[in-house]
Amino acid sequence: MAAMFSETVQTVGVSNRERAVRRFLKNRLAVVGLVVILLFVALAIFAPLIAPYSPLKANFSHAFRAPTASHWLGTDELGRDVLSRVIWGARGSLISGLLIVALGVSVGVPLGLIAGYFGGIIDDLLMRLVDAALAFPGLVLALAMAWILGPSLGHAIIAIGVVTIPQFARITRGQVLEVKSREYVEAARCVGASPIRIMLRHILLNAATPIIVVATLNIGAAILSVAGLSFLGLGPPPPAPTWGSMVQSGSQYLTLAPWISLFPGLAIFMVVLGFNTLGDGLRDVFDPHN
Amino acid sequence: MTTKTPLLISAAALLAATLAACGSSPTNTSTSPPKSGPVSGGTLNVGINSDFVTLSPAMSSALIDRQAFINIFDPLLKLSPTMKVEPNLITHWNITNGGTTYTLYLRHGVKFQDGTPFNAAAVLYNWHWEMNPANASPRRSNLALVSSVAAPNSYEVVVTLKSPFAAFLSILAGRTGMISSPTAMKKWGSAYGMHPVGTGPFSFVQWIKNDHMILKRNPHYWQKGKPYLSKIVYTPITSPVQEYNALVSGQVNIIDGVPYQDVSSLSSNSSLRSAQTAGLGYVDMELNTTVTPLNNVHNREAINYAINRQALNKLLYFGHATPAYSQFSPASWAYNPNLKVPFSDTLAKQQLAKAGNPKGFSFNLLGSNSPATVQEMQAIQSELGKVGIKVNIQPVDFTTLLTDAIHGNYQADLLGWSGRADPDQNSYAFDTTKGTFNDPRYSNPQVDSLLLKAREATSQTTRKQYYNEAATIVLHQAPYIFLEYTPVIQAWSPNVHGFKVYPDGLMRFKNVWK
Amino acid sequence: MGDGLVAVFIVRRLINLIPVALLVLIVTFSLIHVAPGNPAYTILGEQASPTAVRLLDQKMGLDHPLIVQFGTYVVSVLHGNLGTSLLDGQSVTSLIVTRLPVTLELSILAVVLSLVIALPTGILAAYRPNTWIDSVSRLLALLGAAIPNFWLGLLLVYVFAVTLRWAPALGWVPINVSVFGNLGHLIMPTIVLALPLAAITSRVLRGELLEVMHRIYIQVARAKGVKEWGVVMRHGVRNALIPVVTVIGLQVGGLLGGVVITESIFSLPGMGQLVVNAIFNRDYPVLQGSVLFMALVVLLANLAVDLIYAWVDPRIRYN
């Protein structure tokens, strides 16, 4: 899904950096997205300081309490503070989103570089592999893998990360092919620079911006997938406060205490929205047409 | 209800007025008494909490299958609403030779739904099939005490037992007493579980797994004029909330259970009827007595004291369950309301000290991954955490849970038992050394002997005494931590008549009309 | 362009499909080998009895060398045999066939609804780029793409089925039983599935329209004095719809992922529920077969997109 937003991504020279920053700041949506992300990052980092209660401390006699001054987002089916659980849940959510994309980038980008730079049979082989991998509905493959490996956050990250790899391979390869044809790479090759040097110095630098855009958008998508796995019970075991499992456990009390599902879902929504608006904004910034 | 159109409101009001006499009495066992007599025809849409596993009574070990069996198969003996054994396809019986010979007299003129005559040969065919180890029938253990069966004539079956067995008649009211058509069993072989043929009021039509199962009226049912319904459609709805929503929105006419959170609002909902009765079943933790740290009886007893069953009842069952301390529920004649352990962190800590780990210990708790079970496991985790016992929750799929429990490959698990009419069926296999359901691998010669005496005795008073003694030992040795007796709460729409709630939770539709 | 070139392209595309399909088969075959240890234990659980493991080894041929297993697998898949369910011995192919109509109808309705949303928003946004209309359309797209489908599903159930009682909460009525009943049950799942798709389609449509409108022939048309709106509709939209078709084709995979969650929330007896049930019942052959089937559907969808593209836009054939 994220790849689609990047259709019109173009490269931009480093010298334009300052102009880009100014343009970014003019894009109000993107700035709001960045602010939302930073807010959640802060929540994640300072969870122990910010959360008013322990995310795990149950208090049966306070279960199903509607939002009040003492529990801003109400309490859940064990009497735990929903706000505190949402705040702590930001950790797992953001970390898994970042790690998934890190996995996708660290495997996908080299693959794309190799395929794009060398071309020929290596390219054919790698791209057929990518085609095959892209044929699998990401969530379904992740579900299957998470089940085979067993439920845990680590396995969910691996499962979704693996599914993300081909996207980065494909986008990198596309950028490499475009950059490769430019004169200065040709020139560098003529001078006798080693392939690795050429790739890293020139191609990677120029291909970086679209990869950053896609990565940003992919963090949002990854967070959604992790939440989906947790919702289906294939995330870390309880009582870990994950947003997806909170939505799931609240779903049995939708009429009695809708806030149990409502707020963690809202948190997922906002974080993903944050990354998507940021990614969307970055694309505009890097897009010289605009 | 406020969003309905005026037309619907008036229709509902009219219905309510017509049925005003019925009311709904969620705290009593009640029926919807007819205003007018039964009407034939109509389709009943039934919501059930999970899909069937097999429709062959000889191969079934899932509770849900029994919901279908009770209507497809007429058991040899039936259970009354108070769980007393009554004549059915067996019209009368004699017990001789000190309780080891049962002579069973069969009803005449009964036919299976495929036309095969129901007789002693059919009963023998079923039981011989079930006793054959090659068929791996879960019924085999029920018939383990049978040394021989014979049919002196077409309507008489003589069962000789190796030793007296007080629960034998009760067993004939369950799946062992649900006789399949031998013709159909032979015809379908291992696929018989998809093509059941019994003698019951409804015959099997179609089963699309995870979607629906259809039964139709058996026109040749031996009880003339019954049943009334022409069709039953079972729809599995695994989420209790969704199942309840399906009833409220009219997608199904009756459901096998009501989410506890909605029970109190049932009585004020004029568009629903419901009834509640004490069930035979309970929820419990099984503690593996052969592995550390739960092989230490004091650690187990500490758990017993540290769990506040009242609080669990209030939180998870909204107060509709009953704290449990034994395998015999309030619906059983063996129930003893005085048998209990106090909730006391002090006593729990004393036990921890006696066990040599005053600061507590940790163990893994296995349970199904349904949201309700996950919530209950977390509640237990929180309760035990207060005295320093650390619980690691492991939600797994149900198959894994059962496999691990049976093979003793666990430290503790959260399970439950649906309960049977005779106390023997709720205790012997669970508590005796090498009992087939003894997942905790508990072994106590005293309990073994008490439960053996209880199954061989004939007087109910004597038996109750034995069960009480055994239950007291089991409670304090704590191979099981009994948590709650679960009630049977079922609800239906006002156009369903003649339905009765039974402590076994099985929905019998023979007398129901729409 | 002659039809000969189209034929060459099609043939080349089909030949390309063979190694990809083979790789897909390798992936589905090796799924179970991702976990360490004997696959039979992964399927049955660690505590499975040796007898059960031996039986499963025999049933699934797990006791043969891997290469033999793979060969057998490929041959049986080519024969349309995806194995049998461990739960009840039903053939996986027939299970998929019985589940397919539900998923197919749901997916088609979702695509249709997504177009109903995406076409006006996308076109309007392109017609007035960088105005408030464009911003609103962009915001809607961002919202649609970010909303967790399982959460949206619960919200819809809560508001429309539980509180307002407008739509049935769950379940399925076959279309041959009741057309209205059938559609009534699909309203909410369709919305859940359609929103993210509409979001992407709308943005792509806008982008493509803008590009198309920049092209010269639009200028030409404008010079001829055609009213501007007519230009957008006649030339722009028609040209921009091709990439939209591409997007929808490429989204088939995402759609199937959404189907899994949507069907399990709304208890729809389709492919998605089959997958989830297979996972919770440890019914590995059903899981494996469904994953393979879904991957093949995606491959075919991509093929179809390429062919349509080639037909409409001849330049692509040279790539």
Nearest of B142, B252, B152 to residue B491 by alpha carbon: B252
Alpha-carbon torsion, ordered B452, B453, B458, B462, to 10 deg: -130
pLDDT at A134 > cutoff 90: no
Of A112-121, A123-132, B193-202, C57-66, where does mean pLDDT reach its minimum? C57-66
- In tens, the pLDDT along A78-95 reads 999 999 999 999 999 999
Question: What is residue B23's predicted lDDT score, i.e. its pLDDT?
Answer: 34
Question: What is residue B12's predicted lDDT score, i.e. its pLDDT?
Answer: 37
Identify whether A23 is part of a domain: no
CB contact under 8 A, A238 and B374: yes
CATH, residue A236: 1.10.3720.10
Measured distance CA(B90)–CA(B75) in Å, rounded: 9
Measured distance CA(C84)–CA(C92) in Å, rounded: 5
CATH topology of domain B77-181: Dipeptide-binding Protein; domain 1 (3.90.76)
CB contact under 8 A, C171 and B246: yes
Identify whether A138 is part of a domain: yes
Half-sphere exposure of A11 (CA within 13 A, CB side): 20
Question: What is residue B382's predicted lDDT score, i.e. its pLDDT?
Answer: 95
pLDDT at A259 > cutoff 80: yes
Tell me the pairing of strands B43-48 and B231-236: parallel
Q: Could you tell me the CA-to-CA distances from B475 to A194, B423, B467 in Å, in that order?
A: 77, 16, 12
Question: What is residue C218's predicted lDDT score, i.e. its pLDDT?
Answer: 61
Question: What is residue C126's predicted lDDT score, i.e. its pLDDT?
Answer: 84
Question: What is residue B464's predicted lDDT score, i.e. its pLDDT?
Answer: 97
Extract the tokens encoding B257.
Answer: 């259970």
- CA B127 vs. chain centroid, Å, equals 22
CB pairs under 8 A between B and C: 69
> What mean pLDDT do residues A166-192 have?
78
Measured distance CA(B260)–CA(A280) in Å, rounded: 46
CB contact under 8 A, C47 and B398: no
CB contact under 8 A, A139 and C247: no
Query: Average pLDDT, whole number, for chain A?
Result: 85
Alpha-carbon torsion, ordered C68, C74, C76, C79, to 10 deg: -150
Nearest CA in chain A to B244: A252
Residue-by-residue DSSP string for A24-68: HHH-HHHHHHHHHHHHHHHHHHTHHHH-SS-SS---GGGTTPPP-
pLDDT at A225 > cutoff 60: yes
Question: What is residue C232's predicted lDDT score, i.e. its pLDDT?
Answer: 61
| Domain enclosing residue A142, as ranges | 81-286
pLDDT at C229 > cutoff 90: no
Measured distance CA(B67)–CA(B47) in Å, rounded: 11
Residues of B in contact with A255 (CB under 8 A): 241, 261-262
Interface with chain C: mutation pick from B1, B211, B243, B404, highest number of C CBs within 10 Å: B211
Q: For chain B, how far is it from start to end, CA to CA, in angstroms? A: 23
Query: Average pLDDT, whole number, for chain C?
Result: 81
> What mean pLDDT do residues A174-196 have?
73
Report which DSSP code applies to C94.
Answer: H
Nearest CA in chain A to C140: A273
Q: Which one has a higher pLDDT value, C226 or C245? A: C245
CB contact under 8 A, A147 and C279: yes
**B256 in Cβ contact with B507 (< 8 Å):** yes
Q: What are the domain boundaries of chain B?
A: 77-181, 282-485
In DSSP terms, which residues pair with C91 in a beta bridge?
A: C84
Q: Which one has a higher pLDDT value, A105 or A290? A: A105
**C82 in Cβ contact with C289 (< 8 Å):** yes
> What mean pLDDT do residues A141-145 have?
85
Q: For chain C, how far is it from start to end, CA to CA, in angstroms? A: 15
Preceding omega of B371 cis (within 30 degrees of 0): no
Measured distance CA(B383)–CA(B312) in Å, rounded: 9
- In tens, the pLDDT along C102-129 reads 999 999 999 999 999 998 998 888 888 8
- In the numeric block, the tokens 């809708």 are attached to A258
Tell me the pairing of strands B43-48 and B254-255: parallel
pLDDT-based confidence at residue C86 (cuts at 50, 70, 90): confident
Measured distance CA(B434)–CA(B447) in Å, rounded: 12
**A33 in Cβ contact with A277 (< 8 Å):** yes
Question: What is residue B14's predicted lDDT score, i.e. its pLDDT?
Answer: 36
**B444 in Cβ contact with B473 (< 8 Å):** yes
Name the residue facing A140 among C147, C207, C294 (closest C-beta). C294
> What mean pLDDT do residues A187-201 have?
71
Identify whether A41 is part of a domain: no
CB contact under 8 A, A244 and C287: no
Phi-psi domain of C212 (left: phi exceeds 0; alpha: psi -120 through 50; beta: other)? alpha
Provide CATH code, domain B282-485.
Answer: 3.10.105.10
CB contact under 8 A, A136 and C276: no
Measured distance CA(A169)–CA(A176) in Å, rounded: 10
Q: Could you tell me the CA-to-CA distances from C227 to C13, C130, C205 in Å, in that order?
A: 41, 21, 21
Question: What is residue B11's predicted lDDT score, i.e. its pLDDT?
Answer: 36
Identify whether A131 is part of a domain: yes
Nearest CA in chain B to C95: B209
**C263 in Cβ contact with C103 (< 8 Å):** yes
pLDDT-based confidence at residue A9 (cuts at 50, 70, 90): very low
CB contact under 8 A, C148 and A247: yes
pLDDT-based confidence at residue A280 (cuts at 50, 70, 90): confident
- State the greatest distance between any 2 C-alpha atoms of chain A, in Å, as a whole number: 77
pLDDT at C313 > cutoff 80: no
Nearest of C57, C103, C91, C98 to residue C286 by alpha carbon: C91
Q: At what angle do helices A28-45 and A259-286 cross, to 10 degrees?
A: 130
| Average pLDDT per consecutive 10 residues, chain B (514 residues; last block may be shorter) | 33 36 39 69 94 92 93 96 95 95 96 96 97 92 94 96 95 96 95 95 91 93 94 90 84 94 87 94 96 96 97 96 97 96 96 96 93 94 96 86 87 94 95 94 97 94 97 97 97 96 96 94
Question: What is residue B26's predicted lDDT score, i.e. its pLDDT?
Answer: 40
Cβ density class A195-224: b for 16+ within 10 Å, e for less: eeebbeebbbebbbbbbbbbbbbbbbbbbb
SS (H, E, C) C211-230: HHHHCHHHHHHHHCCCCHHH
Taking residue C116's Cβ as centre, other Cβ atoms within 10 Å add up to 12
Element (H, E) at B432: none
Name the residue facing A249 among B239, B374, B392 (closest C-beta). B374
Extract the tokens encoding A227.
Answer: 């939440």
Nearest CA in chain B to A79: B315
Nearest CA in chain C to A33: C142
Contacts of range A57-61, beta carbons closer than 8 Å, 24 or more positions apart: A57/A81, A57/B382, A58/B378, A58/B379, A58/B382, A60/B308, A60/B311, A60/B312, A60/B314, A60/B315, A60/B379, A60/B382, A61/B311
Residues of A in contact with B314 (CB under 8 A): 60
Name the residue facing C267 among B242, B398, B403 (closest C-beta). B242
Identify whether A237 is part of a domain: yes
Question: What is residue B265's predicted lDDT score, i.e. its pLDDT?
Answer: 86
pLDDT at C25 > cutoff 60: yes
Question: What is residue B396's predicted lDDT score, i.e. its pLDDT?
Answer: 84
pLDDT-based confidence at residue C33 (cuts at 50, 70, 90): confident
User: How many degrees, rounded to 5, is the angle at CA C176 between CA C172 and CA C178?
Assistant: 60
Domain count, chain A: 1
Evaluated on CA atoms B72, B77, B78, B83, the torsion sign reads: negative
pLDDT at A2 > cutoff 50: no
If DSSP codes are grouped into helix, strand and coil, which group holds residue C88? coil
pLDDT-based confidence at residue C228 (cuts at 50, 70, 90): low
Residues of B in contact with A239 (CB under 8 A): 378, 381, 393
- In the numeric block, the tokens 């591409």 are attached to C246
Minimal Cα–Cα distance from A257 to chain B, Å?
10
SS (H, E, C) B170-184: HHCCCHHHECCCHHH
Question: What is residue C9's predicted lDDT score, i.e. its pLDDT?
Answer: 77
pLDDT-based confidence at residue C36 (cuts at 50, 70, 90): low
pLDDT-based confidence at residue C316 (cuts at 50, 70, 90): very low
Residues of chain A with pLDDT > 70: what percent? 90
Here the ipTM equals 0.87
Phi-psi domain of B335 (left: phi exceeds 0; alpha: psi -120 through 50; beta: other)? beta
Measured distance CA(C243)–CA(C208) in Å, rounded: 7
Phi-psi domain of C166 (left: phi exceeds 0; alpha: psi -120 through 50; beta: other)? alpha
Report which DSSP code applies to A88.
Answer: H
